[in-house]
Structure 1
Amino acid sequence: MKRLLTAFALLAGGMGAALAQPASSSATFDAVRARGHVVCGTAPNLAGFAAVDSRGEWRGLYVDGCRAVAAAMFGDATRVRFVATTLQNRLPMLQAGEIDILVSNTTWTLTREASLGLQFTGVTFYDGQGFLVRRSLGVTSARQLDGATICVQPGTTTELNLADYFRRRGMRLNPLVIDNVEELRGAITSGRCDAYTIGTAALTAFRAGLGAQGEDFMLLPELISKEPLGPVIRKGDQRWFDLVRWAGFVPLLAEEFGITSENVAARLNDPDPEVQRFLGRTGGFGTMLGVQDDWAFQIIRQVGNYQESWDRNVAPLGLARGINRLWSEGGIHYPPPAR
């Protein structure tokens, strides 16, 4: 019995030591570190989320997500090279290794994880598919779109959601499938289609991009799907997965703690042990992730917390934060504890 107990103790100790070891390095993690910057794929024309401004600078909630990863990896949020992607090429580009991470309007689905060799690291924005219609049509509900011509983009979950919604209700659907954004804008403004359907974030950005003409259009109240949108990477890179996932949690955790880009330096002296661990004064979390222990501090200092990013990018569109509030504020963002 003593020999059995001794053997068990040795085995348990060995397992504990093994569990305490940091995750093995990954091809993507090592390649990004050696290259000196993150290659981030995202949409180039999604106002508030990912777009190039008049000075050629990338701005948006998704853009901030890419910069957070760079801040965590290098201590420098500017070490990102942004690559414009389309609905058609975004996932193939990630699969082929042309980009390290895709942060765009990409919905987390079973198919994309189980059959494409991809993995979502979390949710940046909780969305739902809706409809944009011209006010002059007098339509106030999606149920009034029976027989309508609906503009929809190919290569998205949107097409399937649209077909399911109409079939489920026995409604007639006339889809007008258009990939090119400029052609799509022309089809909608000229009246070739009665409505345009995609996630409400994209619809709000699209409407804002129409300028004064945007007042001629309205979003219908119905949401016909769940669209959890977040960063995507290739499977098989555990260390890269850990870093991207937790870089996404940091802005939410910072908001929970009331830590902002303005007060983060002062909060380094906060006596709260949880804050001390979070900001890298204790705990060694950065070492566990393979980066500097001030990784979270750098994200907050250079990018800000989630509310700051929202106010800077999304709020000007007039889009309510809604379910994208923290769990403690009535939303569903519920980041796990950093401990």
Structure 2
Amino acid sequence: MSFGMAAMFSAAPAADASTLDDIRTRDHLVCGVTEGTPGFAEVAANGAWKGLDIDFCEALAVAVLGRRDAVRYRVVSPANRFQVLAGREVDVLPRANAMTLSRDTEHGVRFVGTLFHDGQGILVRRGHTVASVLELSGASVCVMAGTGAQEGFERYFQMRKMRYQLVTAEQWPDTVKTYADGACTLLTGDMTLLASERSRLPDPGEHVILPELVAKEPLGPIVRQGDDRWFSVVRWTLEALIAAEELGITSQNIDSLRNSPNTDIRRFQGEEADLGRPLGLARDWSYRVVKQVGNYGELFDRNVGARSPLALERGVNNLWTRGGLMSAAPLR
């Protein structure tokens, strides 16, 4: 037998193993999360996990098992997350990395979709009355030395022939302190990181994250290669959260929309068609998800948006009908 054929046969058992069956056998989902990520995955004072990543894991648990509490969490790190997933220690990584060609082809994983559009942003004091990055030519910026953030900022400004002055530090806490002390006009880093740091400043309301992104980083769920059935469940759960917001379905009004004249709403509720059967789920799985967890807008607002300490604008994470990038494939 050739080496190529041997490799093909040795890989077959992993593809045959069903994550969906494993979850049902153990009666809970195992989610791999990065601990201490405000707004996304953190442990609250009462010991319970909370955040956007957590809510998405709970949505999956509802879709498969009908209960949002049927989840166990495994803390993973950037160094081991793909190995942990490949080793079947977790069923899904809810928001681990942005998709790149190398990550999508070299780690035995599949990127499902985008749960959150992150990217490199810019924080500035409200007193500067700046509405756009394009108004910042000549500004000084605090940035970690030798990082992708420095490279991304320089590339963005140079392409637009804008002047700038770098104020660098070797560590992120020192970079933030330099900005807080007023030694630079701007602070640049991942948008979610900027929002977290802003919430800890003495007067968060006096600092604004500008709408433009210096670089984009779409983040979303990742599953193992070779399990198309589970991939479909994760993908269509994500699509259902977004579709519910598009249709105006929330956790508060979903019951009042029973027998709606809108065919798409009736289909979403499981009244018009059985969309759960091809996924191996209950007929009303998407109804249960929104009833227990909410739609995408509800998840965003309470974890990272207006109702959270991060107070992020929807921006690119808004629906496509409101100028954002979030859109759902039709559930039909």
Assess same fold via TM > 0.5.
Answer: yes
Q: Gaps (5+ residues) in structure 1?
A: 1-23, 179-183
2:268 matched residue in structure 1: 278
Aligned to 1:338: 331
Q: Distance in 2 between matches of 1:73 and 1:112?
A: 27
Picking from 230, 254, 267, the partner of 1:264 is 254
Partner of 1:296: 286
Deviations 1:247-300 (A, max 9, x none): 001111111221111121232322433222211224221111011111101100
Report the AA paired with residue 264 of structure 1: I
Provide the rounded CA distance (Å) in 2 between the counterparts of 1:309 and 1:218.
Answer: 22
Pair 1:149–1:305, CA change in 2 (3 A): closer
The SS at the match of 1:212 is: coil
Q: Counterpart amino acid of 1:106?
A: N
* Cα 1:162/1:61, change in 2 over 3 Å: same
Q: Deviations over 1:107-135 (max 9, x none)?
A: 12222112222211111112221244789
- In structure 2, list runs of 5 or more residues that go unmatched: 1-14
Distance across 2 between alignment mates of 1:233 and 1:123: 13
Confirm or deny: 8 A CA contact 1:135 1:218 kept in the other structure.
yes
TM-score (normalizing by structure 1)? 0.76
Instruction: Measure how far apart 1:48 and its partner are.
Output: 2.3
Aligned residue for 1:110? Answer: 101
Give the equivalent residue in structure 1 for 2:92: 101
Q: How far is 1:177 from its partner? A: 6.2
- 1:315 equivalent to 2:318? Answer no
Contact 1:72 1:291 (8 Å CA) reproduced: yes
Residue 79 (str. 1) matches residue 70 (str. 2): yes
**In 1, Cα distance between the equivalents of 2:153 and 2:78?**
17
1:202 aligns with 2:190: no
Does residue 1:328 correspond to 2:318, yes or no?
no
Q: Deviation at 1:207?
A: 2.2
- How many residue pairs match? The answer is 307
Q: Secondary structure at the match of 2:324?
A: coil
In structure 1, distance between residues paired with 2:106 and 2:155: 22
Structure 1 residue matching 2:226: 3-state secondary structure: coil
Which letter does structure 2 place at the counterpart of 1:88? A
Preserved CA contact (<8 Å) 2:142 2:175 = no
Offset at residue 163 of structure 1 (A): 7.8
1:166-245 alignment, distance < 5 Å: 184-185=172-173, 188-189=176-177, 197-208=188-199, 210-212=200-202, 214=204, 219=209, 223-245=213-235
The 2-side partners of 1:236 and 1:136 are apart by 53
Question: SS in structure 2 opposite 1:127?
Answer: strand
Question: Matched residues in 2 for 1:27 and 1:152: separation?
Answer: 45
Identity of aligned residues (%): 36
Q: State the distance in 1 between where 2:16 and 2:146 align.
A: 38
- Residue type at the aligned position of 2:330: P
Residue 222 of structure 1: CA displacement? Answer: 5.0
| C-alpha spacing 1:25/1:255, structure 2 compared with 1 (3 Å) | farther
Change (3 A) 1:89 1:117: same
Distance 1:186 1:173 in 2: 14
1:279–1:226 distance in 2 versus 1, CA, 3 Å: same
Is the Cα–Cα contact under 8 Å of residues 31 and 57 in structure 2 kept in the other structure? yes
